[in-house]
Structure 1
Amino acid sequence: MPNVRDVDADQFINAYAQHLKRSGKLELPTWVDIVKTGAYKEQAPYSPDWYYIRAAALARHIYLRKAVGVGALCKLHGGPKNRGFRPSHHSPASGSVQRKVLQSLEAIGVLEKDPKGGRMISQDGMRDLDRIAVAVLESQREEEDEDEDEDDEDEEDDE
Structure 2
Amino acid sequence: MDNKRVKQGVTVKDVSAADFIASYASFLKRTGNVELPSWVDYVKTSTRNELAPYDPDWFYVRMAALARQIYTRPGRGVGAFRKVYGGRKRRGSKPSHFALASSSIIRHALRQLEKLEVVEKTEQGGRRLTRKGRQELDLQAQRILSGQ
TM-score tier by shorter-chain length is over 0.9
1:91 aligns with 2:94: no
CA RMSD of aligned residues (A): 0.9
Counterpart pick for 1:138 among 124, 137, 146: 146
TM-score (norm 2): 0.92
Give the count of matched residue pairs.
140
Q: Which residue type is aligned with residue 84 of structure 1? A: G
Q: Which residue type is aligned with residue 70 of structure 1? A: V
Give the alignment of 1:1-159 within 5 angstroms. Answer: 1-139=9-147
Q: Which residue type is aligned with residue 131 of structure 2? A: Q
CA deviations on 1:83-105 (whole Å, 9 max, x unpaired) are 11122111110001000000111
SS at 2:109 equivalent: helix
For the residues of structure 1 that align with 2:74 and 2:90, how far apart are their CA atoms?
33
For the residues of structure 1 that align with 2:32 and 2:74, how far apart are their CA atoms?
27
For the residues of structure 2 that align with 1:138 and 1:79, how far apart are their CA atoms?
35
TM-score (norm 1): 0.86
Sequence identity (%): 49
Which ranges of structure 2 fall in alignment gaps of 5 or more residues?
Answer: 1-8
Which ranges of structure 1 fall in alignment gaps of 5 or more residues?
Answer: 143-159
**Higher CA-based Rg:** 1
| Greater relative CO, 1 or 2 (CA 8 Å, sep 6+) | 2
For the residues of structure 1 that align with 2:139 and 2:34, how far apart are their CA atoms?
18
For the residues of structure 1 that align with 2:91 and 2:42, how far apart are their CA atoms?
23
CA deviations on 1:14-70 (whole Å, 9 max, x unpaired) are 000000000011111111001000000000000000000000000000011121100
Q: Which residue type is aligned with residue 16 of structure 2? A: D
Q: Which residue type is aligned with residue 120 of structure 1? A: R
Runs (4+) off by over 3 Å:
none
